């Protein structure tokens, strides 16, 4: 009997241990092919941070043939890396039950670039004869630039995400992702000036993290663990050894190389996109209702969205960030 009792006890312990080892499955979608700007998430996978928080995280890449955005409300993703807050406003306006729970980038990397020395500053771009802007840009930040910054629709030319026009005309200005197109231009031998829209008043956060509203309501612990682990991953990626994260990014997207990733991350640092603003004291991921409202008001004044179309109380939930998470890691790795 004692042997049987001991056996049952041993089996019970094994079952209990097995249940404690079972990590929560999480599927996280990015907005494009794997790149340096996704590195903190890959870091948290490869260095075991997600596992430490009881999570089994699968990263599902976006890309030219993969639209991850509808996968979130459909339940195929648990979290989604979005772009700027306009997308979140659209979700609320259209009754899509998602909410923003963190902002990895304090600045939107959206920028304009010009040939080196052709224009003295951003204001001088208002005199440029031609500015290449994508269709999405024409209905978002370009409207703000025309309404608030004295740009003119007469300058507008369609941008097809090809550098050929820009490279062939020294007076040409084009839209650019601050950590991408300037590097592509440099590879073609063109030295450029980069003007980040965030430095001109385009106040949206970038790389926002969205999840379903029901997940926030019914499983806030999962949301908190995912964000805490992701923020730790970003601090380790920015200030520690990136080699394993780089390897994971390159495995997912073979077009990347260590040299390309190093150049991209140097741009993030130069433009102060991630660890800046509110994140300096509140930690990566930080966001505030005041800044969200300010950008909403900017969008309304610029006629990007209609007044009263967005219930701001549904756009974001800030309870999971602003706690200084990861600052200890940064201090330990940098000595600052």
Instruction: Please say if the pLDDT value at position 4 is more than 50.
Output: no
pLDDT tens, residue by residue, 277-328: 999 999 999 999 999 999 999 999 999 999 999 999 999 999 999 999 999 9
> For residue 209, which of 25, 71, 30, 59 has the smallest C-alpha distance?
30
23 DSSP assignment:
P
Q: How confident is the model at residue 66 (pLDDT cuts 50, 70, 90)?
A: confident
* pTM listed for this prediction: 0.91
Q: Give yes or no for a contact between 89 and 96, defined as CB atoms under 8 angstroms apart.
A: no
> For residue 237, which of 261, 211, 270, 208 has the smallest C-alpha distance?
261
Q: How confident is the model at residue 161 (pLDDT cuts 50, 70, 90)?
A: confident
pLDDT for res 21: 61
Instruction: Please say if the pLDDT value at position 274 is more than 90.
Output: yes
pLDDT for res 8: 42
Instruction: Please say if the pLDDT value at position 11 is more than 60.
Output: no
pLDDT tens, residue by residue, 43-58: 999 999 999 999 999 9
- For the 110-200 domain, the top CATH level (class) is alpha beta
- Quote the mean pLDDT of the chain: 93
Whole-angstrom distance, CA of residue 212 vs CA of residue 142: 30
- The residue with greater pLDDT, 146 or 1, is 146
Instruction: Please say if the pLDDT value at position 204 is more than 90.
Output: yes
Instruction: Please say if the pLDDT value at position 3 is more than 80.
Output: no
Torsion angle (degrees, nearest 10) of CA 299, 301, 302, 308? 50
Instruction: Please say if the pLDDT value at position 246 is more than 80.
Output: yes
Q: How confident is the model at residue 258 (pLDDT cuts 50, 70, 90)?
A: very high
**Architecture (CATH level 2) of domain 19-108+204-334:** 3-Layer(aba) Sandwich (3.40)
Tell me the domain boundaries of the chain. 19-108+204-334, 110-200
Q: What are the tokens at 196?
A: 């980040």
Provide the b/e sequence for 227-264 (b: ≥16 CB within 10 Å). Answer: bbbbbbbbbbbbbbebeebbebbbebeeebeeebbebb
Element (H, E) at 209: strand 206-212
pLDDT for res 292: 98
Whole-angstrom distance, CA of residue 10 vs CA of residue 32: 48
Q: What are the tokens at 4?
A: 């049987």
């Amino acid at each position: 009997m004692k042997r049987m009792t001991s056996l049952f006890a041993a089996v019970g312990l094994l079952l209990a241990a097995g249940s404690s080892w079972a990590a929560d499955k999480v599927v996280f979608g990015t907005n494009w092919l794997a790149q340096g700007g996704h590195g903190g998430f890959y870091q948290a996978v490869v260095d075991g941070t997600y596992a430490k928080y009881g999570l089994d995280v699968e990263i599902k890449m976006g890309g030219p043939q993969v639209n991850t955005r509808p996968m979130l409300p459909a339940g195929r993703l648990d979290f989604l890396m979005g772009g700027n807050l306009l997308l979140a406003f659209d979700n609320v306006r259209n009754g899509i039950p998602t909410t923003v729970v963190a902002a990895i980038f304090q600045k939107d990397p959206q920028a304009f670039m010009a040939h080196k020395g052709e224009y003295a500053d951003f204001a001088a771009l208002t005199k440029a004869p031609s500015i290449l802007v994508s269709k999405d840009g024409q209905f978002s930040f370009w409207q703000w630039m025309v309404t608030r910054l004295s740009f003119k629709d007469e300058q507008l030319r369609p941008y097809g995400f090809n550098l050929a026009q820009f490279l062939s005309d020294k007076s040409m200005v084009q839209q650019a992702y601050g950590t991408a197109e300037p590097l592509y231009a440099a590879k073609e031998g063109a030295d450029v000036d980069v003007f980040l829209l965030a430095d001109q008043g385009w106040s949206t956060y970038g790389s926002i993290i969205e999840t379903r509203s029901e997940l926030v309501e019914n499983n806030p612990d999962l949301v908190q663990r995912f964000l805490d682990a992701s923020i730790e991953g970003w601090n380790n990626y920015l200030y520690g050894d990136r080699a394993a994260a780089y390897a994971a990014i390159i495995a997912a997207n073979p077009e990347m190389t260590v040299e390309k990733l190093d150049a991209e991350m140097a741009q993030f640092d130069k433009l102060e996109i991630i660890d800046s603003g509110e994140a300096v004291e509140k930690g990566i991921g930080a966001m505030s209702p005041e800044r969200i409202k300010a950008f909403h008001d900017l969008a309304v004044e610029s006629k990007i969205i209609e007044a009263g179309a967005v219930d701001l109380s549904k756009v974001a939930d800030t309870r999971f960030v602003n706690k200084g998470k990861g600052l200890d890691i940064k201090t330990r790795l940098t000595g600052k």
